[in-house]
Amino acid sequence: MIEVVLPTIALILAPILKKRGAVITSLTFFVTSILILLRLVRMDVFYSKVADLPNPIGAFYVYGDCISHIFGFTIAFVSAFVSLYSTPYMKHRFEEMGLSLDEFGKYWLLYNAYAYSMLLLVYSGNLLMLYVFLEISLVTSFLLIYYYGYGKRQWVAMLYFVWTHIAGVLALIGFILIGLNNNTLLMPMIKAVPFIAWILVFLGMLVKLPGLGFHIWLPYAHAEAPTPVSALLSPLTVGLAGYVILRLYEIDPSFIFNHRHLIFAYGFLTSFVAGLLVFKQNDFKKLLAYSTVSQMGYMIMAICLGSYGVMGLVIQYVSHAFGKAILFMSAGSIIALYGLRRLDYMGGFHEQIPQIANASLIGFMNLSGIVTIGLIGELFILRGAFETFQKIGWEVIAVILVFIVSGLYSFYTMKNVFYGKPKDYPVKKPSLLLVTPLYAIGIVSIALLFCGEFVIRALMEVFI
């Protein structure tokens, strides 16, 4: 259980160390990710009581199983390398804002609280405990946007705060109904999820993912957040809505089974329409934000596709997290080096910054499911569609279509940003801390395709 406690070291020390806080933050989260990975390989399950509360709340438990370990490893690993990237990027941002480097103290406090709350969320064994850490992640990310974002950052932060707290309130009411119905919120003890509770939690998580129609807050928040925050918000935070839905599905899947076709169709529309909207974006970070909405449509579809679909959902979270972390950091590097984010001012950047261009290619390969762990996720989702619907109907065609759209917008973006006729910009050599984190995440995403059988084995142990 040390892996759940270890990041408190960074939470305490990094704000004191200020501009050197990246070292302790990266080290603690990296060691945490390795410890979690070892648990996953051994398929360890652990639980520990934190507090004993009266029913209908029930005891607070730290609980870790294979699903928690996969999500937890992803959160810790990405957080470790985004923190390294934060040093040169946030130094650049503080200079833009006229702030001293002492601002790193506040930044590291908020960054570590944000990353740590997401880790504790996936190790929460009680729904109320899960909600508490969900709220902490939302408040800390709101403050990071409010203090260090771009453009109308305070307005964007408030937009983000309102929409995500609509999601949180809906989920909280649903959790309360579950607690009253089962006389506990301790997840292993919950026997059934009432229909109205399922509706409320599901709607709340659709706002948080977000699904089509609820997505209006996301392009603003992702585009105007400081890039290290975007590299946590898009890859890690939004997908945790899928984690919450998955945990309820494990307890009582009846809501998903009874409304499978409607939910699947909504997931398809989310992925397909948002994928097409990617082509209309001229802001690089906003383009990546719409691709996040499209990728989250995968998760909505996957939850409807039985055991293999749910396995695909979990792997999709990992793949999307790796790919989108690389891509947001790539976009941030272009901002830091050239002050650019509009696509019509870009083109041919492979000639000026080939290190960033090649890393971005790995990022888009994750989103497209090409030679990365994303390929396994897509295969599981496709197999889930075949096994669920028992024919090559519109559902299977829909799955294949959204995969194609992801590939198209990925290589459309690569062409417009990094290939084609080079613009007349000087060649620049980015800092190692702007480059190394991208390749560290990219190499692991490829390695997991070839030596990640322990991930599949752990998921099969749970779902098959």
Q: Please state whether the peptide bond connecting residue 210 to the residue before it is cis, i.e. omega within 30 degrees of 0.
A: yes
DSSP letters, 249-270, are HHH-THHHHHTHHHHHHHHHHH
Full-model pTM:
0.96
Torsion, Cα 325 409 268 162, to 10 degrees, reads 50
| C-alpha dihedral sign at 75, 78, 84, 86 | negative
Tens of pLDDT, residues 266-317? 999 999 999 999 999 999 999 999 999 999 999 999 999 999 999 999 999 9
Predicted confidence at residue 463, as pLDDT, reads 82
Burial of 69 from C-beta contacts in 10 A (0-12 / 13-18 / 19+): buried
Rounded to whole angstroms, the maximal C-alpha distance in the chain is 67
Please choose, from the candidates 93, 38, 92, 115, the residue with its C-alpha nearest in 3D space to the C-alpha of residue 69: 38
Q: Could you tell me the pLDDT band of residue 48, with boundaries at 50, 70 and 90? A: confident
Q: Could you tell me the pLDDT band of residue 424, with boundaries at 50, 70 and 90? A: confident
Which residue is associated with the tokens 């089509």? 212
Predicted confidence at residue 130, as pLDDT, reads 96
Tens of pLDDT, residues 316-373? 999 999 999 999 999 999 999 999 999 989 989 999 999 999 999 999 999 999 999 9
d(CA 355, CA 399): 33
* 75, 118 Cβ separation under 8 angstroms: yes
Residue 122 confidence (pLDDT) above 80: yes
Residue 451 confidence (pLDDT) above 90: no
Which residue is associated with the tokens 């939850």? 303
DSSP letters, 71-94, are HHHHHHHHHHHHHHHHHHHHHHHH
Tokens found for residue 361: 């290619």
Q: Is 60 helix (H, G, I), strand (E, B) or coil?
A: strand
| C-alpha dihedral sign at 6, 10, 13, 17 | positive
d(CA 411, CA 2): 42
Predicted confidence at residue 92, as pLDDT, reads 92
Residue 464 confidence (pLDDT) above 80: no
Which residue is associated with the tokens 């888009």? 364
Give kind and range of the element (H or E) at residue 50. strand 46-51
Contacts of 393 (CB under 8 A, 6+ apart): none
Residue 187 confidence (pLDDT) above 90: yes
| C-alpha dihedral sign at 178, 183, 188, 190 | negative
φ, ψ of residue 151 in degrees (nearest 5): 55, -135
Please choose, from the candidates 329, 354, 332, the residue with its C-alpha nearest in 3D space to the C-alpha of residue 341: 332
Contacts of 48 (CB under 8 A, 6+ apart): 1, 61, 62
DSSP letters, 148-193, are H-SSSHHHHHHHHHHHHHHHHHHHHHHHHHHHHHHT--BGGG----
Distance between start and end Cα atoms, the chain: 27
d(CA 319, CA 293): 15
* 330, 359 Cβ separation under 8 angstroms: yes
* 48, 391 Cβ separation under 8 angstroms: no
Over the chain, what is the mean pLDDT? 94
* 277, 215 Cβ separation under 8 angstroms: no
3-state helix, strand, coil in the chain (%, to 5): 80, 5, 20
DSSP-assigned letter for residue 47: E
Torsion, Cα 56 61 66 68, to 10 degrees, reads 90
pLDDT (average), residues 377-403 = 92
Residue 46 confidence (pLDDT) above 90: no
Predicted confidence at residue 452, as pLDDT, reads 82
Tens of pLDDT, residues 144-179? 999 999 989 999 999 999 999 999 999 999 999 999
Predicted confidence at residue 429, as pLDDT, reads 87
Please choose, from the candidates 325, 306, 324, the residue with its C-alpha nearest in 3D space to the C-alpha of residue 459: 306
3-state secondary structure labels for all residues of 323-343: HHHHHHHHHHHHHHHHCCCEH
